[in-house]
Amino acid sequence: MEVEWFYLACGLYVIAAFVTDVRSMKIPNRLTLPVTVTGVLAHTIWGGWEGFMFSAAGFAIGFGVLFLMYLIGAVGAGDVKLFGGIGAWTGLIFGVHVIIYSVLYAGAIGLVILLFRRDSAKRIRGMAGNLAGFFMLGSLKLVNQEKTLKFPFMLAVLPGFISAYIYMS
């Protein structure tokens, strides 16, 4: 049930989230919740029970994976709800692709930011220590929140969405 307008609607949603996240480092509920519900309803109306299951599976994977990332401090709560909405509109497979591409882009962006910071060697040592602590102690807290490099995750999600669309077309 790959209908092109589902991807167009979701693309507009991602662009709106991009603008709000870049401006305020927040993705508001008044954007994520209605769009998610609309995605589920559109698939249900278009495809009946099968459409509902397609949308629900996409929501579950997007929300679930990003919720795990939220627990370790990698993303914010708005990103979790955003990916639930992306999954609700585009389904499980496309949602997984967007997650993978977005994480790869986020890693590249973070590396570029890290390399151009004055204290990059200190930060790299700190990240290595945090990662070692995670594997040795099993702590879910990978990073010290005061010392993290922060940038709007949407800087990675928008190109991740576009890359997934190109790859899946």
Average pLDDT over residues 98-126: 82
User: Which residues, in sequence order, are CB contacts of 106 under 8 Å at separation 6+?
Assistant: 153, 155, 156
Specify the pTM: 0.81
Measured in whole angstroms, how far is the alpha carbon of residue 148 from the centre of its chain? 18
Question: CA–CA separation, 115 vs 127, rounded Å?
Answer: 13
> Within 72-153, where are the H helices?
77-115, 120-137
CB 130 within 8 A of CB 143: yes
pLDDT at residue 81 in the model: 97
CB 36 within 8 A of CB 59: yes
- Of residues 167 and 122, more confidence is placed in 167
pLDDT tens profile 46-101: 999 999 999 999 999 999 999 999 998 889 999 999 999 999 999 999 999 999 99
> CA gyration radius for the chain?
17
User: What confidence tier does 136 reach under pLDDT thresholds 50, 70, 90?
Assistant: low
CB 93 within 8 A of CB 164: no
pLDDT tens profile 6-35: 899 999 999 999 999 999 999 999 999 999
Question: CA–CA separation, 125 vs 97, rounded Å?
Answer: 31
pLDDT at residue 12 in the model: 95
- HSE-CB for 106 with a 13 A CA cutoff: 19
Q: What is the DSSP letter of 148?
A: -
CB 153 within 8 A of CB 79: yes
- In the chain, what are the domain boundaries? 1-168
pLDDT at residue 82 in the model: 96
pLDDT at residue 11 in the model: 94
